């Protein structure tokens, strides 16, 4: 068996100590009717051939293409310093810091993560991590239900489809109501529809959720939406992309109560969807409603500064069926990645990541527009936008044959929306080059001629 330390002599010694002849004696409490006789899988496979198998599988993926795909997961430059720290066994082979005296490394990094995300969002309470942006959003929606004791939330349809779908799954289970808010032709959420939905006194609203930027890359009227939500006694949830917070108004600036988001852009590789980082932050007023671990700073008996998991009465291992969530294992190592990334890249670096993405996206918009492919929406965007192109899915496939991934055909997510049937969602980041943009424009001209 690989990784096993026991010699035949070691096993014999342990069996002797137990006074048994065979390890099978230790499995006799499994009733014969349900005892199985092994697992039908080939192997063990020696590391050498296993490594070859994995390399061959990885090589069957094609990752070197010219890509404008974002839609909730973004290619960014990650300083090698980040992975250098993630590879430290002291971090990645430890577990939840149940014993604070020998877990100060993990505890302090979580405290630092909480502080950095608090700085980005302007909100003072940050949970130690959730599974991903979708689950953090669903948890944020559930928080508004607990805090207001109301049963209904309003979610813009222009929040990432997976987040809406995930929240819908969570809500269906708990018999709660989720209503989607329509969007205007400019790509923003329809605030008059929001106002009307909030006015329904029969069905009071717990929380209002908007994406910022939203799934179309568009900036939402967050201040006005927050004002409307608060006037109706509802909480405001902002679903963010964290890099954008380096240059955009923070959730605290426009008065949001809760912020959820996907932390993948903060130094975490794409990995076909995970592990990523669910960011969840709230105002101080909601500290006892926030799910997930929290780390606080305190002192030891000698007065030394130390860190510890705190406010644990919210959690499942203490409160069981009345816990704020069932979450136990979280995404701590991904939170560490974000912490190292932010420390390594610094405030100017993060601003540059956001601003360079915006600059490249404008360059992309210009190139596509000149090729006769205009934006769908008119509202301002940061680094992602939708373009209208006839026969979008066919064009997308033809571009793929030329090694260009032309973003995401929005018909996949909005099959019933005629406005989006012929739309591609494209993005640029600081890693996007002018040469790539030119390649896109040239290929586009070829497939359309």
Partner 1 sequence: MTDTLEQTTKIPAGEGSGTERTNRELEAAARENEISTPDRDFTDARGAPHRGDGMGPRAAVGPSPQPTLAELSRPGRGDGKLPHAPADALDAIPEEQRRARPLGLPELSELEVIRHFVNLSHLNYAVDTGFYPLGSCTMKYNPKINEWAARLPGFAALHPLAPDTLAQGTLELLYELERMLAEISGMRAVTLQPAAGAHGELTGILMARAYHESRGDSERSEVIVPDSSHGTNPATASMAGYTTITVRSGADGGVDLDALRSALGPRTAAVMLTNPSTLGLFERQIVELLDAVHEAGALAYMDGANLNAVLGKFKPGQAGFDVMHFNVHKTFSTPHGGGGPGAGPVGVGEKLVPFLPSPRVLQEADGSYRLERSGERPTSIGRVRSFQGNVGVLVRGYTYIKAHGGSGLTQASEDAVLAANYLKQRLAGSYEIPYDRACKHEFIATARPLKAATGVRTLDVAKRLIDYGFHPPTIYFPLIVDEALLIEPTETESLETLDAFADALLAIADEAREDPETVKKAPHTAPVRRLDEATAARQPDLRWSPMTGAESPCPT
Residues of span 32-51 touching partner 1 by CB under 8 A: 33-45, 47, 50-51
d(CA 395, CA 410): 13
Asked if residue 449 binds partner 1 (CB under 8 A), the reply is no
Q: How far is C-alpha 430 from the chain's CA centre? A: 20
Among 8, 149, 174, 435, binds partner 1 (CB under 8 A): 174
Nearer to partner 1, 43 or 418 (CB): 43
State the Cα–Cα distance between residues 184 and 192, nearest whole angstrom.
10
Size of the site for partner 1 (CB under 8 A): 204
Provide the minimum distance between the beta carbon of 56 and partner 1 in the complex, in angstroms, as a whole number.
8
Contact pick of 146, 194, 233, 302 for partner 1 (by CB under 8 A): 302
Q: Tell me if residue 392 falls in helix, strand or coil.
A: helix
If one asks whether residue 301 binds partner 1 (CB under 8 A), the answer comes out as yes
**Per-residue x/- track, 95-124, partner 1 (CB under 8 A):** xxxxxxxxxxxx-xxxxx-xxx-xxx-x-x
| Residue 91 CB-density burial (10 A; 0-12 exposed, 13-18 middle, 19+ buried) | middle
Q: Which of 186, 200, 317, 446 binds partner 1 (CB under 8 A)?
A: 317
Write down the residue that tokens 């918009």 correspond to: 365
Question: What distance lies between CA 4 and its chain's CA centroid?
Answer: 36
CA distance 246 to 345: 12
Question: Which member of 231, 285, 312, 446 binds partner 1 (CB under 8 A)?
Answer: 312
**Residue 163 interacting with partner 1 (CB under 8 A):** yes
3-state secondary structure 137-148: HHHHHHHHHHHH
Q: Out of 81, 193, 367, 371, point to the residue binding partner 1 (CB under 8 A).
A: 81
Contact assessment for residue 420 and residue 183, using Cβ atoms and an 8 Å cutoff: no
User: Residue 330: what are its φ and ψ, rounded to 5°?
Assistant: -120, -140
The strand order across the sheet containing 278-282 reads 125-126, 278-282, 258-262, 235-240, 205-212, 152-156, 177-181
User: 21, 25, 369, 417: which one contacts partner 1 (CB under 8 A)?
Assistant: 25
**Binding region for partner 1 (CB under 8 A) out of 145-153, 230-238, 348-356, 436-444:** 348-356
Q: Is 8 in the site for partner 1 (CB under 8 A)?
A: no
Min separation Cβ 201 and partner 1, Å = 25
**The one among 151, 191, 223, 367 contacting partner 1 by CB under 8 A:** 223
């Amino acid at each position: 068996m690989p990784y096993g330390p026991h010699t035949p002599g070691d096993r014999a010694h342990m069996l002797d100590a137990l006074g048994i002849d065979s390890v099978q004696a230790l499995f006799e409490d499994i009733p014969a009717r349900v005892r199985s006789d092994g697992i039908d899988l080939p192997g063990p496979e020696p590391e050498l051939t296993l490594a070859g198998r994995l390399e061959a599988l990885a090589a069957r993926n094609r990752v070197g293409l010219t890509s404008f795909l974002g839609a909730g997961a973004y290619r960014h430059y990650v300083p090698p310093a980040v992975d250098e720290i993630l590879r430290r066994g002291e971090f990645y082979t430890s577990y939840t810091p149940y014993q604070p005296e020998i877990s100060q490394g993990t505890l302090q990094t979580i405290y630092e993560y909480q502080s950095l995300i608090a700085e980005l969002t302007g909100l003072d309470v940050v949970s130690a991590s959730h599974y991903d942006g979708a689950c953090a959003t669903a948890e944020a929606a559930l928080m508004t239900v607990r805090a207001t004791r109301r049963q209904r939330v309003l979610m813009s349809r222009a929040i990432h489809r997976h987040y809406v779908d995930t929240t819908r799954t969570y809500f269906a289970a708990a018999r709660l109501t989720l209503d989607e808010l329509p969007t205007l032709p400019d790509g923003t959420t329809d605030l008059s529809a929001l106002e009307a939905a909030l006015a329904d006194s029969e069905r009071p609203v717990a929380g209002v959720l908007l994406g910022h930027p939203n799934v179309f890359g568009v900036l939402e009227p967050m201040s006005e939406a927050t004002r409307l939500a608060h006037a109706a006694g509802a909480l405001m949830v902002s679903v963010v992309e964290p890099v954008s917070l380096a240059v955009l108004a923070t959730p605290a600036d426009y008065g949001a109560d809760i912020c959820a988001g996907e932390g993948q852009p903060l130094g975490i590789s794409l990995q076909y969807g995970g592990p990523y980082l669910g960011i969840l932050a709230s105002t101080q007023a909601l500290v006892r409603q926030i799910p997930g671990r929290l780390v606080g700073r305190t002192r030891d008996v000698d007065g030394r500064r130390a860190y510890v998991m705190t406010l644990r009465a919210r959690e499942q291992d203490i409160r069981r069926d009345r816990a704020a969530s069932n979450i136990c294992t979280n995404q701590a190592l991904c939170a560490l990645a974000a912490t190292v990334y932010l420390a390594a890249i610094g405030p100017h670096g993060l601003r540059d990541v956001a601003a360079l993405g915006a600059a490249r996206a404008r360059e992309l918009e210009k190139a596509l527009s000149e090729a006769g492919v205009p934006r769908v929406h008119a509202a301002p965007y940061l680094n992602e936008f939708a373009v209208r192109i006839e026969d979008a899915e066919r064009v997308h496939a033809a571009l793929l044959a030329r090694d260009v991934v032309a973003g995401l055909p929005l018909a996949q997510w909005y099959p019933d929306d005629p406005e989006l049937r012929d739309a591609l969602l494209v993005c640029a980041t600081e890693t996007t080059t002018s040469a790539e943009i030119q390649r896109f424009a040239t290929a586009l001209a070829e497939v359309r001629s």
